[in-house]
Structures are given as structure tokens and as C-alpha cells.
Structure 1
Amino acid sequence: MTDAREHVLTGTRGTISAREWPHPRPRWIALVAHGYGEHIGRYAELAGALGKHGAAVFGPDHTGHGRSAGERVVIEDFEDVVTDLHTVAQRARSTHPDVPVVLIGHSMGGLVAARYAQRHGDRLAALVLSGPVIGTWETPARLLAHDSAHGEVPGIPVSPAALSRDPAVGAAYAADPLVWHGPMKRPTLRAFVRTLEDVARGGDVGRLPLLWLHGDDDRLVPLAGSRPGVERLSGGAATERIFPGARHEVFHETIKAAAFAEVTAFVDRVLGG
């Protein structure tokens, strides 16, 4: 696959760094929304698999993440993140007019993708959610309750071991200077709570095809909490693939090839090819 290109775009709260994995004649565009505390560069292997399937792949570092501007991991309002993602989508469409767009959101990016689909679903061909923060996710409210009682957010960073059964994934995550290794911050926790409520109230995505991927040993975003959110968003019509024993990042798990294949087979069904 062609080497990635970097774009610096004007976001809602400063510059946004976006990455493009080009394709000379793409059949579809994959728009990727990454998770909390990480960056789009961690999705190079997914981009390679999708590129072999005919996709041009685009995705931003969300505000406060990776190479984008902003205080680290601070998101005041996820509506701004959705708007920034739409700016990247517009860049992708200007590069490849009339090519269908499939939005892929992981974890926090799944929350962003869900809200994007509620706002801009008529511009999408399909939606893929991986370990999405949607439905009932208790972590933000629990940490904010501790904050209210004790005056500080507990300093609990993401455990690398919770991401994948592949120890190399955790080691690379722990050593990555663009990954946030500190605690969550109050503004972001509050924004999570608000946006979970907004998505719950925002209605379903109608006839937009939706694929849901999740590991059944996901302890960061438990499967049982995501299920009601996915069912509500899809109107009960989602295609689901639950991976036994897999942890939070199915695109970095020991079953990643199967996860990639689920995405490409789903896209083939949607696009008819």
C-alpha cells in the first residue's frame, strides 16, 4: 500500500492532524475514528488490510490526541469532534468524489461515529463499531462521583494488558509517546456522560447498515453495556460479531485477521461486490 500522507486541517479548537492511506482508484473510502488516549497511526495495519480490499483510508487524530492541537485528552464537547471528523470526510470526498464512505469507529471513536451517523448518516454507506462506548458505560460517572467525594479524579490510566492478548500490542502501546498514559480528565468525563445521553436520545440510524464487533472479554468497555446502545442505534438491525476471549481492541487482537475479514465481507455485502 502507498505510504501514508499527513494533512493539517483547521478544526473547531485548533489544528487537526489527519492521515491518509491513499489508493489510486478506490472502490470505497474508510473513515476511521480512533479511541480515547491513542492516535490514528495505530491503525496502519487495519488501513493496509482495507487498502488491499480497495479502500482509501482517512482518519484524524482527535483534538487533544496524537499530533492534533489541544490539551492532552481534553475533549470539552464531542460535537466538536464530530464536526472535525466531518471536515476529514469532506477532504476525503474532495479527493475521491462519488466514492461511498464507510465510517469505522473504535471505543471512544465508536461514540463519535454513532453521533456522526445521527448527524450525517445520509452521507454514509455503512457504519462499523468496534468495542464502542455506547449504551451503558459506567466508568465516567463512577470517576466523577469519586471526584465529587474526594476532590480528584483517580489516577488510573488504561492498562496495556486490557487491550489485547498479544503482549507485543501492550508493549508498543506503553512505549508510544503519542499515547496518553495518565488519568482521565474531568472535562472529558463530563463530555462522555453528556454524549452517551445525546446518542441515547438521538434516535436510530434508519436503514444505514451497521456492523458491531466486540471482544467478549472486553473489560474496558464491557459487551453487556454496549449491547443496548447498539440495538437502539441500529433499530435492532445490526450485524454483530462477538469474538470469544478477545479483549478491547479487536483490530489489534490475536484474531485481528478475522476482524479485518468481517469488515471487508460486510462492505462487500453493502456495496455489492
Structure 2
Amino acid sequence: MSTLEWDVAGTHGRVAVREWNGSAPTWLCLVAHGYGEHMGRYERLAAELVADGAVVVGPDHTGHGESDGERVLVESYDDVVADLHAVARRTLADHPGLPVVLLGHSMGGMIAARYVQLHARVVDVLVLSSPVLGRWAPVTDLLGLPEIPDGPLDTSTLSRDPEVGAAYEADPLVWHGPFKRPTIAAMARTMKDITDGPDLGSLPTLWIHGDADTLVPIDGTRVGIPELGASALTERTYPGGRHELFNETNRDEVVADVRAFVRENLPAG
């Protein structure tokens, strides 16, 4: 597997991109990462998907990781979608004709849903991992407070594997501070835009979620899933699974489910 690092000109400065590929790829996996993290945390997943024939690519969203911008400040998620689209165009120019799987985790699931609404023709398969959709406490509760609390993330909520939380705490590219009010307000607007936007229709869509996820509880997301209007939806729920399913103790099962869904739904040829 080869790893490449490159940049695109984003809507708010330089956007850092990571790309993993092997020989003779047959599909492209475009990744939208979650709030406060970065694409470097997806290397293990990328290796498994590359072994299955993928080119895996994704940006550090504006204000995240190695990209420009004030840390975790997002004033418009349509701008983040535009940056993701610039990455998709560049990668497809380098690998023309490949079908596209869009994988979004957590906040990235919200970004992925919005991406498909704005660029439906680009994506052939959609995978939503613990997505922020429907009803989410930071959006419904924090915006009403006069001051956003600066409480640390309980990293045990990420995975049943304690090493995942320890690595998260030690990662200098991960944001360890509080939410920023403009970012939460932008999330609220985007969730409403997704509700009001066009349906996903017959796009093959896989929704995966742990039933013990306390960061993005499954019941809140379940409110938003019907609003996507996805007639070809498949749901996989993992008992005991916490927020980061690709870093969970049953991650092999989760990755196998994603790979099988992709293989079953990629366009012929």
C-alpha cells in the first residue's frame, strides 16, 4: 500500500489530504471523518479497503488535523462539502472511471448525507457510520446555554478497547477543547437542510451504529434516518458497540460487513 499526502485549495485555505492505494484499484472510497479528528486515524481501515481493491482518500476538514483554519471552527458545512468535492474531482481525475463509495463517520456522516444531496451523480454507494442526523444533544442543548462548557471528552465512549481512548488523548492533531458555538449552529442548519433536501432515493445506503453509543446515541439518529428518503437502506446495529465502530473490539465484523455491502452494490464492471 502506498500513502500519499497532498493539498487542495479549500474554501477557507489549504486542505490537507491523505490517499492510500495499491495496484490496479477498482473503486474509490471517499472518507469524511468526524468532529475534532483527522484522516490519519483511518490508516488501518484504509489498509483493509485497499486490500479489497480501493483507493481510499479523504481530507482533514477545515479547522481539523493538518488543514488550515481556526481549530474546529466551521461556519458552513456546505463549504466543507465543497472541499470534499474538490478532493473527489482530483482523485477521479487521477483514477478515471472508478465507482465511488462515500463513507462518513459521525459528523462526517452528516457531511456525507449533505454531499449526496448536492452531488448525487458522483456517489454510487453510501456508508454512514454512527452519523449525526436527526436529533443530537449538542445541537439541541448547547446552543441554548449562555456559555459552552469546556468539559473533556470521556474517551471510554469511543470504544471498548482502552487503547483507542489512550491514543486519542495522546494525539496532538485531535482537538481536545470545547465545542465552538458557530460550529454547533452550522450543524443545526445542516441537519435541517438535510431534512428539507432531496431524497437519497435508490442509492445503496448502509447505516451502521452501536447500540451503546453515548456520543451519538442511536435513538437520536434513528429520528433522522427516514428523513433521508433512502429506499435502498440497510441497517446494521452492533450490540454493545460504542461510537467508533472501526476501532471497536468487534471491528473485524464491522469492516467485513462494510466490505460485503460495497461488493454487493458496486456497479457492474
| Same fold, TM-score > 0.5, yes or no | yes
Corresponding residue number in structure 2 for 1:219: 214
Shift of 1:198: 0.6
Q: Distance in 2 between matches of 1:157 and 1:8?
A: 31
Alignment of 1:19-168 (within 5 A): 19-147=18-146, 152-168=147-163
| Equivalent AA in structure 2 for residue 106 of structure 1 | H
Deviation sequence 1:98-128 (CA, Å, 0-9, x none): 0001000000000000000111121111100
Pick one of 172, 180, 183 that aligns with 1:177.
172
Q: CA RMSD in A?
A: 1.1
Shift of 1:236: 4.7
Q: Distance in 2 between matches of 1:25 and 1:189?
A: 41
Deviation sequence 1:192-248 (CA, Å, 0-9, x none): 111111111113111111000100000010101111322221435310100000100
Deviation sequence 1:177-200 (CA, Å, 0-9, x none): 000001000110110111111111
Deviation sequence 1:79-112 (CA, Å, 0-9, x none): 0000000011011101110000100000000000
Q: Distance in 2 between matches of 1:158 and 1:118?
A: 31
In the alignment, structure 1 segments of 5+ residues that lack a partner are none
Mapped pair 1:268 → 2:263 = yes
8 Å CA contact 1:203–1:232 kept in 2: the answer is no
Corresponding residue number in structure 2 for 1:238: 233
8 Å CA contact 1:6–1:18 kept in 2: the answer is yes
8 Å CA contact 2:200–2:231 kept in 1: the answer is no
Q: Distance in 2 between matches of 1:125 and 1:157?
A: 38
Percent identity of the aligned residues?
54
| Equivalent AA in structure 1 for residue 252 of structure 2 | A
**Partner SS state of residue 121, structure 1:** coil
Give the total of aligned pairs.
268
Q: Distance in 2 between matches of 1:34 and 1:209?
A: 20
